Amino acid sequence: MTNTQVTLIQIDNYGPWTTTPEPRREVDLQALQSRIYADVSQLVGNREGYAFFGRFDNMVTVTNGLDTTAHQLIQESLGNRYPVTASMSVAVSPSPAEALGTASDRLQAAGSAQDSERQEVLRGETIPEAERTETDLQIAHFDVDDVTGKYTDQLNEFDTFIRIEEGYAELMRYMRNAHDSVAFFVGGDNIIAVCSDMDERDYHDAVAHVKDAVGVELRVGVGRARTPQAAGMDAKHALEDCREDDYIVELDW
């Protein structure tokens, strides 16, 4: 059984900040957002977690193994490095989508994303060390079969981008609706999903659904472990096995 710990990181009062006293230069906002994400990826990643850029102002991170103190340190580091602060909300569930839902509820209860009074809150609970198991995380690493031959080397880059985004949109919706799982585009032709307890058939169905709906052919490797990074690395190895053996789905257990 999976038990995913999700931390929602939300930049405090970011909307008003981007327009006060007048709209800030977009290029500066883009640089700021990508730097905050880079730091979050490393701060969470150094502690065996995974971070997704999401909408940049709201980042979803998977934090099994990070306790409250680790969260406070990350929050403090962001506050020290940037002209904005971040709030964090943590929740745990066998269903990743439900964990993210509970984390969102807790943050919303603490105040609006555009409330200047709500600053650097930290809410929620982490998994007690004694309750952690080797199957808490199930992570799936999807990639488009031969994106280079079918798209990158063939089409206008914008038409390639449209195809990849269509595949992503279809997969994220399917994983959310059918399996309470959350999937994020991570660049190139890659999508990483944090999954509930899905089996091989479920993954075949997901890949078949995306192919039927939008014609994008995916492969997927899946890992299971105690930490997000261990599960994610197993998933990447399983995906390499898929490519070598010409399978569509490979589970690393």
When CB distances are held under 5 to 8 angstroms depending on the partner's kind, the choice from Mg ion, ligand GDP, none that residue 186 binds is: ligand GDP
Among all residues, whose Cβ is closest to ligand GDP? 188
Taking contact as CB under 6 A, which single stretch among the options 50-58, 81-89, 143-151, 244-252 is the one that binds ligand GDP? Answer: 143-151
Print burial letters for 45-63: b (CB count within 10 Å at least 16), e (below 16): eebbbbbbbbeebbbbbbb
The two tokens of residue 123 are 């809410």
When CB distances are held under 5 to 8 angstroms depending on the partner's kind, the choice from ligand GDP, Mg ion, none that residue 16 binds is: none
Q: How far is the CB of 189 from ligand GDP (least distance, A)?
A: 5
Taking contact as CB under 6 A, which single stretch among the options 28-36, 62-70, 84-92, 139-147 is the one that binds ligand GDP? Answer: 139-147
Q: Is 79 helix (H, G, I), strand (E, B) or coil?
A: helix
Residue 217 touching ligand GDP (CB under 6 A): no
Taking contact as CB under 6 A, which single stretch among the options 8-16, 114-122, 145-153, 162-170 is the one that binds ligand GDP? Answer: 145-153
Measure Cα distances from 70 to 44, 77, 114, 199 in Å: 9, 11, 26, 32
Restricting to residues 174-203, name those near ligand GDP by CB under 6 A: 186-190
DSSP 157-174: HHHHHHHHHHHHHHHHHH
d(CA 57, CA 8): 10
Measured from the CB atom, the residue of 70 and 175 that comes closer to ligand GDP is 175
The two tokens of residue 144 are 């488009």
Looking at the DSSP bridge assignments, the partners of residue 108 are: none
When CB distances are held under 5 to 8 angstroms depending on the partner's kind, the choice from Mg ion, ligand GDP, none that residue 217 binds is: none
d(CA 228, CA 238): 15
List residues binding ligand GDP (CB under 6 A).
143-144, 146-149, 186-190, 236
